[in-house]
């Protein structure tokens, strides 16, 4: 036996080699995961933004005269912010599809003849005449790049604008993820769309307990929720997945997703939660069914329309835009969940520009996949000490976010 034993030195070298190969494999898999996520996010991701604008506006204490910088995403929240009559909103996004969508929604408010036309264009399904409305009212006033985008063809050969004649909310990465989730649930005998038949909070709770919660115990769903790529459609990048999965012994997000779906279905009346309508019916409610998003409600239409020219949409990063702004020139910052994707260097570069451009009393709001703020321990002490974290209000308003996707909502205020 001893004659067959490997040389001790070779054994140590072999162990090191195996370790190096294992690390290389892990690194390679991580790289593939990152590249796949980046590829999926290069198309349209969110036809609708999934952060509650009512929570945003209360957190920012938004009022007339404020200057805002925000990430665009689906563009709904920007339009809602306009109802507070801010002096200016700068919208940034690195995704050209989101840029085109934001500019189209703004143009719809400015150039369609009435509120009913805006609702028909942005909230209704199966309206084939929406393409005609685009050609007649919007296209002649739209910037050349956006007009070319929406007049162009998708991979099926149809004009991109024709999606507004079908149902844009069934498209995009998130729309396809929701469709796949519905299909998977139906394979297990559950039709998620039945949820919108609930007529009370009690019936909503019963549907969750009887129909939805048991799905998370199914082996195939537990397996899928342990795969990073299966949740890219929910907007969970590899970095966020690792942070959330670390909370579970199984390194699965089944428990996290179950908890957040419970909040979406059980914590708010269905009539008042258009996020639940999008998740389960894949559309907005009709007038007799529930409320539209704030920016589509009639009471806000005139104000939004009259102030839509105060929005500028930029195809660049948050940090790049702020670097071009003078000191003390911004009052409110909306970062969505973008910081979850950033390296420490990117975080510090961003907050250096935020701190430089922040006027007295400035407020920054953002969301995180996990519950805790990601800034302590990652942002330099010199930057962090210039901001106060409002933990109590953050927790209170986070619990009121009807989208229910995120673990944490955070408010930072500039120190005097």
Instruction: Name the phi and psi angles at 98, rounded to 5.
Output: -70, -35
pLDDT at position 255 is 86
In this structure, what DSSP letter does residue 190 have? Answer: -
Are the C-beta atoms of residues 45 and 69 closer than 8 Å to each other? no
Q: How does pLDDT run across 402-412, given as a tens digit for each residue? A: 999 899 999 99
Question: Which pTM was predicted?
Answer: 0.89
- The predicted structure's pLDDT at residue 10: 33
In whole angstroms, what is the distance from residue 114 CA to residue 267 CA? 34
Q: What does the alpha-carbon distance between residue 351 and residue 357 come to, in Å, rounded to a whole number? A: 10
Structure tokens of 77? 């929240």
| Residue 330, burial from CB neighbour count under 10 angstroms (0-12, 13-18, 19+) | buried
Q: Could you tell me where the beta strands, DSSP code E, fall in 267-351?
A: 311-314, 330-334
Q: Are 55 and 397 in contact (CB under 8 A)?
A: yes
Q: How far apart are CA 304 and CA 161, in angstroms?
A: 23
Residues linked to residue 312 through DSSP beta bridges, in sequence order: 90
| Coil/strand/helix, residue 67 | strand
pLDDT reported for residue 223: 87
Q: Which residues contact 23 (CB under 8 A, 6 or more apart)?
A: none
**C-alpha span between 355 and 348 (Å, rounded):** 10
Residues in the chain: 416
183 vs 192: CA distance, rounded Å: 9
3-class SS at 368?
Answer: strand
Query: Could you give the count of Cα atoms lying within 13 Å of 10 in the half-sphere of its Cβ?
Result: 3
Residue-level pLDDT, tens digit, the chain, 416 residues: 433 333 333 343 344 444 444 444 444 555 555 565 455 556 888 999 999 999 999 999 999 999 999 999 999 999 999 999 999 999 999 999 999 999 999 999 999 999 999 999 999 999 999 999 999 999 999 999 999 999 999 988 999 999 999 999 999 988 988 999 999 999 999 999 999 999 999 999 999 999 999 999 999 998 888 877 666 666 666 766 776 766 666 666 888 889 999 999 999 999 999 999 999 999 999 999 999 999 999 999 999 999 999 999 999 999 999 999 999 999 999 999 999 889 999 999 999 999 999 999 999 999 998 899 999 999 999 999 999 999 999 999 999 999 998 999 999 999 98
- Kindly report, residue by residue over 171-229, the tens digit of the pLDDT: 998 898 899 999 999 999 999 999 999 999 999 999 999 999 999 999 999 888 887 76
Beta bridge partners of 412: 364, 389
H or E segment at 105?
helix 96-111
Distance CA 399, CA 403 (A): 10
> Which tokens belong to 366?
């953002």
Q: Which residues of 4-37 are buried (b: 16+ CB within 10 A; e: fewer)?
A: eeeeeeeeeeeeeeeeeeeeeeeeeeeeebeeeb
The residue whose two tokens read 């939805």 is 212
């Amino acid at each position: 036996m001893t004659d067959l034993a490997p040389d001790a030195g070779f054994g140590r070298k072999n162990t090191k080699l195996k370790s190096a190969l294992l690390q290389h494999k892990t690194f390679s898999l991580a790289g593939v995961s990152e590249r796949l996520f980046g590829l999926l996010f290069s198309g349209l991701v969110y036809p609708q933004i999934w952060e509650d604008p009512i929570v945003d506006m209360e957190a920012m204490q938004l009022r007339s005269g404020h200057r805002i910088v925000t990430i665009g995403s689906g563009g709904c929240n920007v339009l809602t912010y306009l109802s507070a009559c801010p002096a200016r909103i700068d919208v940034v996004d690195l995704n050209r599809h989101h840029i085109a969508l934001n500019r189209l929604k703004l143009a719809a408010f400015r150039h369609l003849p009435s509120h009913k036309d805006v609702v028909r264009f942005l909230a209704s399904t199966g309206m084939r005449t929406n393409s005609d409305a685009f050609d007649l009212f919007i296209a002649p006033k739209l910037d050349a790049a956006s007009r070319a985008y929406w007049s162009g063809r998708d991979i099926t050969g149809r004009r991109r604008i024709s999606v507004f004649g079908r149902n844009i909310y069934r498209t995009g990465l998130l729309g396809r993820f929701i469709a796949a989730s519905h299909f998977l649930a139906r394979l297990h005998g559950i039709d998620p769309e039945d949820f919108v038949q609930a007529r009370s909070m009690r019936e909503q709770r019963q549907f969750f307990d009887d129909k939805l919660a048991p799905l998370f115990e199914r082996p195939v769903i537990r397996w899928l929720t342990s795969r990073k790529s299966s949740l890219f459609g929910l907007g969970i990048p590899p970095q966020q997945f690792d942070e959330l999965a670390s909370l579970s012994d199984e390194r699965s997000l089944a428990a996290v997703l179950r908890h957040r779906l419970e909040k979406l279905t059980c914590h708010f009346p269905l009539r008042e939660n258009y996020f639940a309508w999008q998740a389960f019916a894949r559309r907005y409610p009709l007038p007799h069914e529930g409320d539209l998003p704030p920016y589509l409600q009639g009471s806000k239409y005139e104000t939004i329309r009259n102030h839509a020219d105060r929005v500028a949409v930029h195809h660049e990063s948050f940090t790049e835009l702020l670097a071009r702004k003078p000191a003390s020139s911004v009052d409110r910052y909306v970062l969505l969940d973008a910081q979850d994707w950033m390296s420490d260097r990117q975080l510090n570069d961003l907050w250096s520009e935020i701190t430089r451009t922040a006027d007295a009393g400035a407020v920054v709001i953002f969301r995180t996949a996990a519950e805790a703020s990601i800034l302590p321990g990652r942002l330099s002490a010199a930057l962090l000490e210039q901001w106060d974290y409002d933990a109590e209000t953050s927790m209170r308003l986070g619990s009121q976010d009807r989208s229910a996707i995120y673990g944490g909502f955070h408010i930072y205020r500039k120190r005097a």
